[in-house]
Amino acid sequence: MASFPAILRSEWTKIRSVRSTIWTLALTFVVTVGLGALLSLLTNNNFTEFRRGERTPFDATGTAFAGIRLGELAIIVFGVLAIGNEYSSGLIRASLAAVPQRGTLLTGKAVVLGALALAASVVTAFTTFFVGQAMLGSHRTDIGEPHVLRAVFGAALYLTMLCLFSAGVTAMLRNQTLALGVLVPFFFLLSPILSVVPKVKTLAHYFPDYAGSRMLLVYEEPSQPYGPWPGFAICLTWTLAALVGGALVLKNRDA
């Protein structure tokens, strides 16, 4: 049996040797920062029109992160490719021959994937925040203001958990095309639609994307069902459930 550090080194080699996975991480950064900067600039230039009739405080942090929705797509793809490439190439058989303890193998994958996603997400979140505030000019906020630093770290944790959730779903489905076919409609069609349908929107409020997005809130609104910390707990539960499900499928089914 390979030692756990050896498993981690092997998984790191696999991820960095596939260009598509690295490019999706880079795309997460570019899209989140770029779109956030653009929308922050537009908000600054049209602030009076955008805020006409609004009674809630202006959330400069949330404005900077307005592009995170498309960044989510890129990091979801990263999580899918990091796991799915082994199944599509057949490399999973060699991995299981080297590490027969399947739970240990998936744990190693999750640790490396999570560490890389977290590092990229922290850089993305802080860059997005500071660039967005620069574009907002006099309407900007400061990292030291109440709840702002928590919201920025919340954005990084949210992206990381989405990545790991996607990896867990891919491990369950064992096919990257099928995984994308499930995850993309779920996050970008089903969840947004259900969240505005009166009879089922309460259910949609407990989906991982809605729960995770609560972590970015600086100002809690009375209309919101819960705040950042419950959102973190719900999103983390979804992530752990997906990883456990992936481990059970990997353990009980042939490669």
pLDDT for position 147 = 94
Q: Which two tokens stand for residue 242?
A: 């997906």
Q: What is the pLDDT of residue 134?
A: 96
What is the chain's pLDDT, residue by residue, as a tens digit (255 residues)?
A: 568 888 888 888 888 887 888 899 999 999 999 999 999 999 999 988 877 777 778 899 999 999 999 999 999 999 999 998 888 887 888 888 787 788 888 899 999 999 999 999 999 999 999 999 999 999 999 999 999 999 999 999 999 999 999 999 999 999 999 999 999 999 998 888 888 888 788 888 999 999 999 999 898 777 778 889 999 999 999 999 999 999 999 888 765
Distance of CA 17 to the CA centre of its chain: 22
State the Cα angle at 43 between 39 and 47, rounded to 5°. 175
Tell me the two tokens of residue 95.
């991995």
The Cα–Cα gap between 200 and 217 comes to: 23
**Structure tokens given for 151:** 């919201």
Residues 6 or more apart whose CB falls under 8 angstroms from that of 12 comprise 112, 116
**All structural domains of the chain with their residue ranges:** 4-252
Q: How far is CA 99 from CA 1, 4, 93, 133, 136, in A?
A: 6, 10, 10, 47, 51
Give the pLDDT score at 94: 82
Phi, psi of 108 (to 5 degrees): -60, -45
* Whole-number pLDDT of residue 255: 59
pLDDT of residue 199: 78
Neighbouring residues of 8: CB distance < 8 A, sequence distance ≥ 6? 108, 111, 112
pLDDT for the residue 178 = 94
Residue 133 CA to residue 143 CA, distance in Å, equals 10
How far apart are alpha carbons 49 and 135 in whole angstroms?
Answer: 17
Burial-class residue 77 by CB neighbours within 10 Å (0-12, 13-18, 19+).
buried
Residues 6 or more apart from 61 whose CB is under 8 A from it?
Answer: 129, 132, 141, 148, 151, 152, 216, 218
Q: What is the pTM of this model?
A: 0.93
The alpha-helical segments, DSSP class H, found in the chain are 4-17, 19-45, 47-51, 60-64, 68-89, 91-98, 102-136, 148-173, 176-185, 191-194, 201-204, 208-213, 228-252
pLDDT given at position 148 = 96
Report pLDDT for 1.
57
